[in-house]
Amino acid sequence: MVSKEMYELGSKRSVIRDLFEYGMQQAAIVGRENVFDFSIGNPTVPAPECVKETMLKLLETSKSQEIHGYTSAQGDFEVRKGLAEYMNNTYNCQLKADNFYITCGAAASLTITLKALTKHPEEDEFIIIAPYFPEYKVFIKNAGAKVVVVPADTENFQIKMDSLEKAITPNTKGIIINSPNNPSGVVYSEKTLNDLANLLKKKSEEYNKPLYLISDEPYREIVYDDIQIPYIPAYYENTIICYSYSKSLSLPGERLGYILVPESVENDKDIYTAVCGAGRSLGYVCAPSMFQKVVLGCLGKTSDVALYDTNRKLLYDGLNNMGYECVKPNGAFYLFVKSLEENAVNFSENAKTFNLLVVPADDFGCPGYVRISYCVDPEMIKRSFDAFQKLKDLY
Ligand code: PLP
Per-residue pLDDT band at 14 (split at 50, 70, 90) = confident
Per residue in 49-75, is it b (16+ CB within 10 Å) or e — as a string?
Answer: ebbeebbeebeeeeeeeebeeebeebb
Best residue for ligand 1 mutational test, from 112, 133, 139 (most atoms within 8 Å of Cβ): 133
Per-residue pLDDT band at 117 (split at 50, 70, 90) = very high
Question: Are the beta carbons of 249 and 298 closer than 8 angstroms?
Answer: yes
Closest listed residue to residue 14, CA positions, set 105, 107, 146, 84: 107
Is the CB of 331 inside a 6 Å radius of any atom of ligand 1?
A: no
Does the pLDDT value for residue 17 go beyond 90?
Answer: no
CA angle 257, 262, 264 (to 5 degrees): 160
Question: Are the beta carbons of 349 and 1 closer than 8 angstroms?
Answer: no
CA-41 nearest atom, ligand 1: 8
Q: In what order do the strands lie in the sheet with 125-129?
A: 100-103, 257-260, 239-244, 212-216, 172-177, 125-129, 146-150
Does the pLDDT value for residue 41 go beyond 90?
Answer: no
Is the CB of 174 inside a 6 Å radius of any atom of ligand 1?
A: no
Distance 261 CA to ligand 1 centre (A): 19
Does the pLDDT value for residue 15 go beyond 90?
Answer: no
Tally the residues of the chain.
395
Question: Which domains, ranges and CATH numbers included, belong to the chain?
Answer: 4-47+303-393 (3.90.1150.10), 50-297 (3.40.640.10)
Residues with Cβ < 8 Å from 9, sequence gap 6 or more?
138
Is the CB of 279 inside a 6 Å radius of any atom of ligand 1?
A: no
Distance 142 CA to ligand 1 centre (A): 17
Biggest CA-to-CA distance, the chain: 63
Question: Are the beta carbons of 284 and 108 closer than 8 angstroms?
Answer: yes
- Closest residue CA from atom 8 of ligand 1: 41
Question: Are the beta carbons of 289 and 295 closer than 8 angstroms?
Answer: no
Distance 102 CA to ligand 1 centre (A): 15
Is the CB of 217 inside a 6 Å radius of any atom of ligand 1?
A: no
Q: Which percentage of the chain shows pLDDT scores above 90?
A: 96
Among left, alpha and beta (phi > 0; psi -120 to 50; other), residue 215 is beta
pTM over 0.90: yes
ipTM over 0.90: yes
Closest listed residue to residue 303, CA positions, set 327, 329, 333, 330: 333
Query: How many angstroms separate the CA atoms of 110 and 87, rounded?
Result: 20
Per-residue pLDDT band at 108 (split at 50, 70, 90) = very high
Question: Are the beta carbons of 162 and 172 closer than 8 angstroms?
Answer: no
Distance 107 CA to ligand 1 centre (A): 6
